[in-house]
Amino acid sequence: MHRSALLLRRHLVLNPSSRTLAYTVRSRSYSSTPPKPSLLLQYCPWSSAFRGSLGARAFLQAIAYSLIIVGGLQYANIERSVSPNLETTQYGSVEDVKKAIEELRVAFNDPQAVATDPESLKIYGSSEHSYHPISPHAVIVRPKSTDDVVKVVNIARRYRVPIVPYSGATSLEGHFSGHPTGSICLDMSKMDEILKINVDDSDLTCQSGARWEDINQTLKNRGIPLFFPLDPGPGATIGGMIGTGCSGTNAVRYGTARSEWFLNLTVVLPDGSVVKTRRRARKSAAGFDTTKLFIGAEGTLGIVTEVTLRLTPVLPTKVAMAQFPNVQNAVSAVQEILNSTQGPHIQCIELLDDHMMGAINDAGFVDNPYPVKDTLFFKIQGDSKSIKETSKVVNEVIKRHSGSNFKFASTDAEADEMWLNRKYCLMSSIAANPGHRCWTTDVCVPVSRLPQLVQETKEDLASHNLRSTIVGHVGDGNFHALILFKNEEELKHVEEAVHRLVHRALALDGTCTGEHGVGLGKKQYLTEELGEETVELMRKIKRTVDPFNILNPGKLYPNKRDS
């Protein structure tokens, strides 16, 4: 660029005759010499009436031309990268990516912080639990502070290299897979500190790479009778939970990440600026809450570096289970229990179908095998008296819905084991079926539609000879069918079955994802679920906040041509 600009500039300095303006001005000055040229012409370096030295003329012309050239190139550059469609963004070339990596190395000056070994790049760009197309990253960067993240964002923007935020790597829809043009994987795992615990305000400030289990363990170790109630997959981090808008088994009692558990976030925006979305008060009506903009945005709008989250008192709990003749009975019992006055004492209520119970037995994680029947797991909270009262009501409701064997875990150890079995359903399903892999599905419908959805899904899977286990957060209308497969051919059948399952959920006024997020896997359903206008509003916000489409491109927002 520089050389051509120089040549062009020199050419213009030496050949003003190529400029119409200079030509007309000169010819006029030859035909008749005006007594006094106008002031404008006296200061115009292209005019023959210019009142300055030749050097000044050349100097001014050069300034003008260079402004035009540099400005023009810059303008063209912006035009090229800010395209109206998210899918046609131009990213940096292989060379640019290399330069960006070099600059990252210089900026961090720590071999641990910037990694490019092919093995890691591949591992960080793929997940063994999802089956979406994967690509490795170009580089992994491990920031230690918000400032580090700003550095990375600025470098990425300069070279137009996509950034993919990464932390717990437990997500299931390809959220952290690499970008084909080469991406910076921003591994937040070094930012996992708890910065401050305010017991009196029941809140806590931590970095986004902190794991929810570690937070609860720390609180327990310090004898603080509070906990953070969102409980997604083991190993999930706070940043990832925000990005996904996750939930877990406790959602029945405590809601999801979209509720009021995140008091504020510190976020690095794509332009490199750092914002803190709110202060630490528990409530605020100061405009729409920008915190919520980043919850569920899957790292496409900003990178969360610090979080204040709200805690809740630890209450005594007891775990119980009951068996049902079929899923319908179980689900209708759940509805009645939750709408009763005892509802608030139910912390969790989980459905495991007969296949799942069989898998747990087969996996060999339990001493005494469970009955192989559709089963509800309950976690009831409260003091011993209210637990007793609640269980009485629950037992009555269960009996009314043809359930049986309502039984508490006799010891805490047994309760923990029971709950652990629920939390490790994915592992059990795989362990019980050696040689199989497992596709975890995730749809959610209004609670009353759940029996129909589960019934039809089970029939559909059976008719296609697909083996699956079912676990469901039935209290929320959310369930996961874990569909097993051995080879590529079966994978194809699974894919089709998942497709049908999602459509079934959408037809019942539900969603394609209850808690796992969109990522790559669910993009195609978003327009059908939310409508083109809503999706376009989301895209509009994405384009406004991230005009260069640097943050986690290719995820979440469906392409326009798909719809």
Partner 1 sequence: MASIQALQRICTRRSVTLALSRASARPYTRHFSQTFKRFSESGQGNNPPKSSPTLANLGIAVAGGVVGVIAYSSFDRLEELKTLFLHPKPKSKYGSPEDFAKAIEDLRQLLPSEDVSTNPDDLLVHGFSPNDHHPACSPSVVVYPRSTKDVVKIVKIASKYRMPVIPYSGATSLEGQFRGHETGGICVDMNHMDSILEIHEADSDIVCQPATRWMDINETLKEKGIPLFWPIDPAPGATIGGMLSTGCSGTNAVRYGTAKGEWFLNATVVLPSGEVIKTRRRSRKSSAGFDVTKLFIGAEGTLGIVTEVTIRLAPVLPTTVAVAQFPDVRSATSAVTEVLNSGVGIQCVELVDDVFMKATNKYGMSKRKWAEKDSLFFKFQGPSQGSLKETAEVVKRIVRKHGATGFELARTKEEADELWSDRKNAHYSGLALIPGAKGWPTDVCVPVSKLPELVAETKKDLEEIGLLSTIVGHVGDGNFHALILFENDEEFERAQGAVHRMVRRAIALDGTCTGEHGVGIGKRKYLVEELGAGTVQLMKTIKKAVDPLDLFNPGKLYPDDEELPGTKGDPSSKS
Binding to partner 1 in span 97-156, by CB under 8 A: none
Most distant CA pair in the chain: distance in Å?
113
Candidates 183, 543, 552, 553; binder of partner 1 (CB under 8 A) is 543
- Residue 390 and residue 217: Cα distance in Å, rounded? 28
**Interacting stretch for partner 1, rule CB under 8 A, among 183-191, 297-305, 352-360, 369-377?**
297-305
- Distance (Å, whole) CA 2 – CA 8: 10
Question: With respect to partner 1, which residue has the nearer C-beta, 60 or 431?
Answer: 60
Using CB under 8 A, pick the residue from 476, 521, 551, 552 that binds partner 1: 476
Cα 258 from Cα 515, distance rounded (Å): 10
549 binds partner 1 (CB under 8 A): no
391-404: string of b/e by CB count within 10 Å (b at 16+)? bebbeebbeebebe
Q: From 7-15, 113-121, 180-188, 402-410, give the range in contact with partner 1 by CB under 8 A.
A: 7-15
Minimal distance, residue 396 CB to partner 1, in Å: 13
- At its nearest, how many Å lie between partner 1 and the CB of residue 446? 4
CA dihedral 251, 255, 261, 262 (to 10 degrees): 90
Beta strands in 99-141 (DSSP E): 114-115, 139-141
Q: How far is the CB of 296 from partner 1 (least distance, A)?
A: 4
C-beta of 323 vs 511, nearer to partner 1: 511
Q: Tell me which stretch binds partner 1 (CB under 8 A): 9-17, 91-99, 356-364, 485-493.
A: 9-17
- Identify the residue among 137, 151, 157, 379 touching partner 1 (CB under 8 A): 157
In angstroms, the CA 404 to CA 402 distance is 7
Nearest to partner 1 of 467, 543 (CB atom): 543
Residues 299-318 that bind partner 1 (CB under 8 A): 301, 313-315
Among 358, 403, 477, 521, binds partner 1 (CB under 8 A): 477
Question: Residues near 104 by Cβ (< 8 Å), separated by ≥ 6?
Answer: 114, 139, 141, 151, 152, 155, 184
* Total site size for partner 1, rule CB under 8 A: 144
Kindly identify the residues of this chain, within the stretch 504-533, that bind partner 1 according to CB under 8 A. 506, 509-518, 522, 526, 529-531, 533
Nearer to partner 1, 5 or 134 (CB): 5
CB of 541 to partner 1, least distance (A): 6
User: Does residue 117 contact residue 162 with C-beta atoms inside 8 Å?
Assistant: no
SS3 call for 157: helix
| DSSP assigned state of 410 | S
CB 305 within 8 A of CB 268: yes
How far apart are CB 235 and partner 1 at their closest, in Å? 18
| CA-to-CA separations, 399 to 332, 333, 345, 357, in angstroms, rounded | 12, 9, 19, 21
Rounded to whole angstroms, the Cα distance separating 391 from 319 reads 10
Q: Please give the residues from 478 up to 497 whose contact with partner 1 meets the rule CB under 8 A.
A: 478
| Residue 330 binds to partner 1 (criterion: CB under 8 A) | no
Q: Dig out the tokens for 488 from the structure.
A: 């590529």
In this chain, which of 90, 93, 120, 202 binds partner 1, going by CB under 8 A? 202
- Select from 490, 486, 511 the least CA-distant residue to 434: 486
Residues 208-247 that bind partner 1 (CB under 8 A): 225-226, 244-247
Candidates 80, 196, 282, 400; binder of partner 1 (CB under 8 A) is: 282
Alpha helices per DSSP H over 475-531: 488-507, 523-530
Binding partner 1 (rule: CB under 8 A), the pick from 132, 344, 395, 503 is 344
- Residue of 288, 368, 465, 561 interacting with partner 1 (CB under 8 A): 288
Interface residues for partner 1 in 37-76 (CB under 8 A)? 48, 50-67, 70-71, 74
Interacting residue with partner 1 among 94, 281, 420, 462 (CB under 8 A): 281
> What whole-number distance in Å separates Cα of residue 299 and Cα of residue 163?
9
CA count, 13 A, side-chain hemisphere, 318: 19
Residues in 372-431 that interact with partner 1 by CB under 8 A: 381-383, 385-386, 389-390, 393
User: Shortest approach of partner 1 to residue 125 CB, angstroms?
Assistant: 22
Cβ proximity to partner 1, 244 vs 457, nearer residue: 244
Which residue, among 348, 491, 478, has the nearest Cα to 422 in the 3D structure?
Answer: 348
Question: Is 295 a residue that touches partner 1 (CB under 8 A)?
Answer: yes
- The CA dihedral of 546, 549, 554, 555, to the nearest 10 degrees, is -20
Q: Which is nearer to partner 1, 208 or 323 (CB)?
A: 208
Question: Which DSSP string corresponds to 97-152?
Answer: HHHHHHHHHHHH--TTTEE--HHHHHHHT--TT--S-----SEEE---SHHHHHHH
Identity of the amino acid at 555:
K
